[in-house]
Amino acid sequence: MSYRPPYTLTPAIVSLVAEVAEALGRLSALGGDGLRLRRVNRIRSIRGSLAIEGNTLSEDQITAILEGRPVVAPPREIQEVRNALAAYERMCAWHPAREADLLEAHGILMAGLLDGAGCYRTGGVGVMQGNEVIHMAPPAKRVPGLMRKLLGWLAETDTHPLIAGAVFHYEFEFIHPFPDGNGRLGRLWQTLILSRWKPVLANLPVESLVHAYQAAYYRAIEESTRQSDSAPFIHFMLERILEACRSGTPQETPDATPQVKRLLRVLCGEMGRAALMDALELKDAKHFRQRYLEPALKSGLLEMTQPESPRSPTQKYRLTDRGRQLTDSLEKKHD
């Protein structure tokens, strides 16, 4: 095999692979992979992956679209959901190393959203974070060759699928082969790679956990690019996969600390950090961030209104569907 993407298998990565394998064994022994669970987690996966790209539709709205019920939302966001539902439904028919399947998947994901969906880009593209360009992708003329090398490596490698999936995901984002839709397709393709190894991984909403740790997701990509080694990204993704495996039925609302519960109770609509701290009568910004805000985001109970710009001074926060469920249950107990 002539091409091998650059990555280092650190002791922490090797340990995480073993932990994921053990957790998957326990999860398989428990069973419970029913039709309803698969459907709920598929909706969570789609919602998480699209939310990273700025889609604002809730799990309830995605469920309504799946069931053919009317939804009041921006037409583009509805189209994104319909496309993602179609792509995830067809996922089992694709082979991870087949270029034609990758192009077909992009065509489905971006149908009606992008001219030339299903075709590699013909111009330059940069990855933006707010108003800042954080990555300039390779020139368009190199894209077909780079993708064939990457897919060829995927077809021939004997690397563990947990590693290979994360390596492919990172390298795909680095190449950025399409004008748009690279993030959602990269996440879908890693799920496809994993599901070929262990089918249960097709039904764990890893994407929703990536959304919960979105800022760390981007930092892992940036750090891997800085090091010219995808080890930081591999480590990040293995942590999310392990978290999904250990939660078993991750659609359930997680436990929340008293601080997080207080935060959820005071949040009204969309609020910024200063307003939340005032509502909580807190003065220490570091304490607020570490004990209130970050745990709520990591638990998937809270989300950013500008996920593409996590440090924006106009950033606000709102409840997720899970956050609303927990808030409703807290109010009922209080009553």
Whole-angstrom Cα distance, residue 60 to residue 82? Answer: 14
With H, G, I as helix, E, B as strand and everything else as coil, classify residue 271: strand
Q: What is the CATH number of domain 258-334?
A: 1.10.10.10
pLDDT band at 326 (very low <50, low <70, confident <90, very high): confident
- The percent of residues in the chain predicted with pLDDT above 90, rounded, is 59
pLDDT of residue 37: 59
CB neighbours (10 Å) of residue 155? 12
Question: What value does the mean pLDDT take over residues 192-209?
Answer: 89
Whole-angstrom Cα distance, residue 38 to residue 262? Answer: 32
Give the DSSP letter string of 89-116.
Answer: HHGGG--TT-HHHHHHHHHHHTTTTSTT
- Which CATH topology does 11-247 take? Fic-like fold (1.10.3290)
The segment(s) of the chain belonging to CATH 1.10.10.10 are 258-334
With H, G, I as helix, E, B as strand and everything else as coil, classify residue 317: strand
Maximum Cα–Cα distance across the chain: 66
CA distances from 106 to 28, 32, 253, 262 (A): 31, 32, 32, 42
- Under 8 Å CB-to-CB from 176, ≥6 apart: which residues? 121, 125, 127, 135, 137, 138, 182
**129, β-bridge pairs:** 132
128 φ, ψ to 5°?
-100, 145
pTM as predicted = 0.73
pLDDT of residue 211: 86
Give the DSSP letter string of 28-57.
Answer: HHH----HHHHHHHHHHHHHHHHHHTT---
Tens digits of residue pLDDT in 251-290: 444 457 888 999 999 999 999 999 999 999 999 999 999 8
Question: What value does the mean pLDDT take over residues 101-118?
Answer: 96
Whole-angstrom Cα distance, residue 184 to residue 48? Answer: 10
Tens digits of residue pLDDT in 10-55: 999 999 999 999 988 887 766 545 455 577 888 888 998 999 888 9
What does the angle CA 49 – CA 54 – CA 55 come to, to the nearest 5 degrees?
70
Q: Which amino acid, 99? A: E
Give the DSSP letter string of 120-175.
Answer: --SS--EEEETTEEEEEPPPGGGHHHHHHHHHHHHHH--S-HHHHHHHHHHHHHHH
The segment(s) of the chain belonging to CATH 1.10.3290.10 are 11-247
Give the DSSP letter string of 70-82.
Answer: ---S-HHHHHHHH
Residue environment code for 33-58, b if the CB has 16+ CB neighbours within 10 A, otherwise e: beeebeebbbbbbbbbbbbbbebebb
pLDDT band at 335 (very low <50, low <70, confident <90, very high): very low
